[in-house]
Amino acid sequence: MSTDYRPMWRSLGLDLEAHDALLGVLGPLYEQTFTRQPNRPAGMQYFDFVMSEVHGLRIQELLDAKAAGRKVVGAYCTFVPEEIVLALDAVLVGLCAGAEFATPEVEKYLPRNTCSLIKGAFGFALARVCPYLSASDVVVGENTCDGKKKGYEIFREFVPQLYVMDLPQTKSREGRALMRAEFQRFAGFLETLTGKTLTADALKKGIAVVNAKRSVMHRLASLRRADPAPVSGLDGLLMNQIYFYDDPVRFTSSVSAICDELEQRVERREGVAREGAPRILMSGCPMAVPNWKLPTIVEQAGAVIVGEESCVGERGTQRLTDDTGQTLDDLFDALVDRYLQIDCAIFTPNASRVEHVLSMAGSLRVDGVIHYGLQFCSPYQIEAGPVERRLEKEGLPTLRIDTDYGQEDVGQIQTRVEAFVERLRG
């Protein structure tokens, strides 16, 4: 970052020393993980730039938006409907949760046996190193897993305004009614926050923007079917991560540009790995920035990741919302139709998730699946067993990796991943 953002960070109440320490780790980690990859598409430069300015220019944009009267809504989950946020001329941004920070302080509030993602969210807040959190007019929590649901009760103390969205646990009629009511309650809350009134026209536009963003991710996913893979799994993940931070329209056109480039690569049979390299689908818990540990190990072992069945991945981007309705009622129904299909492990049963994994595995022509479970994430860790048994039964080699944000197990994971990649080669 060439600009001096320190006055901005100070004005946001960040702990400058701790924040410097964070950037001092993040920069080199990014450099080492991403920029040295062989044969990267040129279009990835845009994402390098975004990442280099992720705590700088993007925050300045949010502050400019606020100065122009727009509200900033921070969130941690793919269930929060960006369509409604955009329709009220507000901005939705993902909040920091991809690294553990200030863990001794966090463990004054949370049990040690809490997953890294939740500890990470607490750590960024307590250490005052997430400018997105500081720039948010409201933080939206959601009743997904026990850890988040109960954690938000405490998190409330750390932020000026927390709004919690309830979610159903099943896709029953009552579960649907609950989500419908909650989306409407959320819209009402945002109307008060923004001082604007939601109209069907504005919601249609919001849906169109998000549909476009999801569509371009579908295009990206379909290009990753090619062998050789035209883009690495790390870069694929990175785009899925930036999905949560960037301006949606600019993001869409940037991914579209890279898709044009990848299309040419596919035509030329050019890729980031040699043809026939073992192709892997990642499935499981979300990977927030800068949680790149596992995909780095996988691709360093000579495999290429061609898809992410994850909230930061296809679980979050699959399916468009029908925007043909003419009334708010129709459009809310359409939103619920779409969001209720998310295959999150908080639902029981969640049979469509493994079907989605199988369908992705087929269309992406993968050789194996790595199931990524965050330690102490009961929903995905418990689901991992049945998912693994079903995939293996269908002839898909599956490796389960349960880990956290620590680096202690890197050697162990490398050994297991290398053996798995060998199995896929065999």
Assess 162 for contact with its own copies (CB under 8 A): no
Taking the C-alpha atoms of residue 48 and residue 45, their distance in angstroms, rounded to an integer, is 5
**Phi, psi (degrees; rounded to nearest 5) at 341:** -85, -5
Q: Which one of residues 48, 53, 89, 146 is an interface residue with its own copies (CB under 8 A)?
A: 146
Cα→Cα distances 74→124, 148, 370, 416, Å? 13, 15, 30, 37
CB of 169 to its own copies, least distance (A): 5
Task: Among 95, 282, 312, 345, indicate the residue that binds its own copies (CB under 8 A).
Answer: 345
If one asks whether residue 398 binds its own copies (CB under 8 A), the answer comes out as no
Residue 111 CB, nearest distance to its own copies (Å)? 4
Q: Are 371 and 403 a contacting pair, CB within 8 Å? A: no
Q: Which residues contact 8 (CB under 8 A, 6 or more apart)?
A: 59, 60, 63, 131
Instruction: Report the C-alpha gap between 422 and 277 in whole angstroms.
Output: 11
CA distance 109 to 44: 39
Stretch that binds its own copies, among 36-44, 161-169, 255-263, 352-360 (CB under 8 A): 161-169
Residue 147 binds to its own copies (criterion: CB under 8 A):
yes
Of the candidates 420, 116, 149, the residue with the CA atom closest to the CA atom of residue 293: 116
SS3 394: coil
Q: Does 406 bind its own copies (CB under 8 A)?
A: no
Residue list 285-344, contact with its own copies (CB under 8 A): none
Report the nearest approach of its own copies to the CB of residue 149 (Å). Answer: 5
**31 or 174, CB closer to its own copies?**
174
Tell me, what DSSP letter sits at residue 145? S
Minimum distance, C-beta of residue 178 to its own copies, in the bound complex (Å): 4
Return the exposure string of 360-398: e unless at least 16 CB atoms fall within 10 Å of the residue's CB, then b: bbeebebbbbbbbbbbbbebbbebbeebbebbeeeebbb
| 404 contributes a contact to its own copies by CB under 8 A | no
CB nearer its own copies, residue 175 or residue 397: 175
For its own copies, which stretch binds (CB under 8 A), given 12-20, 102-110, 199-207, 416-424?
Answer: 102-110
Interaction between residue 151 and its own copies (CB under 8 A):
yes
d(CA 58, CA 49): 11
Which tokens sit at 163?
Answer: 């709004």
Residue 158 sits in the site that holds its own copies (CB under 8 A): no
Task: Return the range that interacts with its own copies (CB under 8 A); candidates 29-37, 209-217, 299-307, 345-353.
Answer: 345-353
The site for its own copies (CB under 8 A) is made up of: 108-111, 113-114, 143, 145-147, 149-154, 164, 166-170, 172-175, 177-178, 181-182, 345-346, 348-350, 373, 375-376, 378-379, 381-386, 402
